[in-house]
Amino acid sequence: MKTRKGEVKGRTTAFCRPMGDMLDVVIVGGGPAGFTAGLYAGRAGLKSVIVDNGAGGQLFGSSIVENYPGFVEPISGQSLSQLMQDQALKFGCPVEYDQVEGIVLDGKVKLVKGINKTYNTKTVIIATGASARKLGVPGEQEFQGRGVSYCATCDGAFFKDKPIIVVGGGDSALEEALFLCRYGSKVTVVHRRQHLRATFHIQELARKNDKLFLQLNTVVDAIEGTDVVERVRLKDVVSEEITYQEAAGVFMYVGQEPNSSLVKELITLDEYGYIVADADTTQTNVPGIFAAGDVRQKTLRQVVTATSDGAIAAMAASRYVEQNW
Ligand code: NAP
């Protein structure tokens, strides 16, 4: 599991507030949405805290980000994430490391229950993001950590001069495949359709890279090996022909699942598990609970839309506190 540099999962920082101290807002999740909510909450003078599980979110695991405004040169997801955290802290919103396991309503008060402590708060912003979806083929689980990975930044270097397969046809698959070209002898992107979903610019970069190969209309049927991954079994979805391709690393980028199980009993979710929230305020069906970033039902999931949500959620939380307390 990824952990932010120098931090121990579950450890709280020196900024802990004593239990029972009522907060204005607890932000659950330290990704772009959570950090931006923290920045805006801090600047609005709200007593706030970001509670993060320290596992590192999607931005933290992204090798490069080149479409976040203001960064003309690509920046690593880890660096951008750290800058956002520093900025929230600068304006008075600390980060505490804890695994939030539930939220309970006690009248107007919300009790955010972590493993280490319970936070009493007037409002909550859920910014827990989304996690990599599993492909669900034979060998995937068996070889996880022995060739199968969901994080190119974390594991790419293990496959120096070895053949790599990337599964998926979206922005993540192609961006991370490009990153993996630094290491692999050859990187093959296996996509189930004829057309890629990734944005045009990323497709262009992929097509220009000599080490990157596209295998379209193809699915990974199974991942095989003895101790570690040695090959994948591929199926052409048009001809149904089965072939085998040598591979040491198989990186899965087949979309995301929202991290919403924490509130599934409390808040309205859509059929895919995303939190339903008002687009103008990010407020959920529970007054005083807001949802920001990739965990929210929305059409465009980007770092820039997550930060936008974070700002909207914090300002809406501020208004809620003013009007209801
Ligand atoms: P995504 O856009 O949902 O793409 C997932 C890909 O996996 C699709 O190509 C999909 O195929 C394929 N797929 C899904 N289930 C599959 C299965 N069972 N078997 C085989 N293939 C399967 O996910 P993402 O790439 O993780 O991106 C998530 C969001 O973040 C998107 O909105 C994306 O634009 C954004 N993002 C943006 C950037 C950037 O702007 N730089 C970088 C990363 C992510 P189909 O195409 O056939 O559905």
5 pLDDT higher than 60:
no
Over the stretch 302-323, which tens digit does the pLDDT of each residue have?
Answer: 999 999 999 999 999 999 999 9
Supply the residue whose CA is at minimum distance from atom 18 of ligand 1: 135
pLDDT of residue 11 exceeding 70, the answer is: no
**pLDDT tens sequence across 25-72:** 999 999 999 999 999 999 999 999 999 999 888 999 888 898 999 999
Atom 46 of ligand 1, residue of closest alpha carbon? 197
> Does ligand 1 have an atom closer than 6 angstroms to the CB of 134?
no
> What is the token pair recorded at 66?
């080149």
| pLDDT for the residue numbered 56 | 84
Cβ(56) to ligand 1 under 6 A? no
Check pLDDT > 90 for residue 125. yes
Closest by CA to 269, choosing from 252, 257, 255, is 257
- Which of 24, 52, 98, 151 is catalytic? The answer is 151
Residue 3, classed as helix, strand or coil, is coil
Q: Does residue 278 have an active-site annotation?
A: no
Phi, psi of 86 (to 5 degrees): -60, -40
**Structural domains present in the chain:** 18-131+256-324 (3.50.50.60), 134-252 (3.50.50.60)
For residue 151, indicate whether it is catalytic: yes
What is the pLDDT confidence band of residue 283, given thresholds at 50, 70 and 90? Answer: very high
Does ligand 1 have an atom closer than 6 angstroms to the CB of 192?
Answer: yes
Cα 70 off chain centre by: 21
Cα end-to-end distance, the chain, whole Å: 40
- Check if the beta carbon of residue 223 is closer than 8 Å to that of residue 137: yes
Helix H, strand E, coil C: the string for 235-299 is: EECCCCCEEEEECCEEEECCCEEECCHHHCCCCCECCCCCECCCCCCCECCCCCEEECCCCECCC
Is the C-beta atom of 176 inside 6 A of ligand 1? no
Determine the distance separating the centroid of ligand 1 and the alpha carbon of 132, expressed in angstroms.
Answer: 10
Kindly indicate the confidence band of residue 24, based on its pLDDT and cuts at 50, 70 and 90: very high
Tokens of 275: 């939190």
Respond yes or no: is residue 155 known to be catalytic: yes
Q: Is 17 in the pocket of ligand 1 (CB under 6 A)?
A: no
Bridge partners (DSSP) of residue 121 are 23, 110
